[in-house]
Structure 1
Amino acid sequence: MANVNVKLFANLREIAQTSSLSITGDTVKDVLLSLTEQYPPLKELIFESGDELKLCGYINVFLNGNNIKHMEGMDTVLNDGDEMGVFPPVSGG
């Protein structure tokens, strides 16, 4: 299992009351599941409702600066020291 630094932004950070934490997992999905187990209110913001685990369309997850949508999605394999950022929609002006 890889030890990954997860950074949370905007309302995700407010709900978890932390901007970053260390989580272990083999894939992006493993880490996101661990994150939502530790902070249950995040589950409805990160995953779509239903049986299949699918990211909400407006959530962006970056691994070492690259969007996982351009990689293997939630099945992207992690390595020790990877940095994952979880971004909700942001607006402002």
Structure 2
Amino acid sequence: MEWKLFADLAELAGEKRVAVDAGPGDTVGEALEALLATRPALEERVLDGSGELEDHVNLLRNGSNVFTQEDGLETELEEGDELALFPPVSGGSDRR
């Protein structure tokens, strides 16, 4: 599975695309954990003090916000899914 990272998240990770050890049957949350395990510099930027995804960070699967259009971090991955993580372009974001 591959993550696409945007803006300062790509800078923190050192690249715009990061492959992780996750695939069909795993959850978006497991894929996120795999990303943070390989790119620990992202953790402080994307997680809050309790280890939850910051409200201002957008997480998409195939262009859909997993928190408003799917089952959040419990969304199950399928073959060919595309994951993306990015901060808001302007202002704040209410992902829920």
Identity value in percent? 36
Structure 1 partner of 2:83: 84
TM-score (norm 2): 0.82
Larger RCO: 1 or 2 (CA < 8 Å, sep 6+): 1
Deviations 1:3-62 (A, max 9, x none): x22100000000111111222320111111111111111011111112xx4210000001
Answer 1 or 2: which has greater helix percent: 1
TM-score (norm 1): 0.85
Q: 1:41-56 to 2 correspondence within 5 Å? A: 41-50=41-50, 53-56=51-54
Q: Over the residues paired in the alignment, what is the CA RMSD in angstroms?
A: 1.5
Structure 1 partner of 2:21: 24
Answer 1 or 2: which has greater strand percent: 1
| Count of matched residue pairs | 87
Question: Runs of 4 or more off by more than 6 Å in structure 1?
Answer: none
Q: 2:58 aligns with which of 53, 57, 60?
A: 60
SS in 2 for 1:56: coil
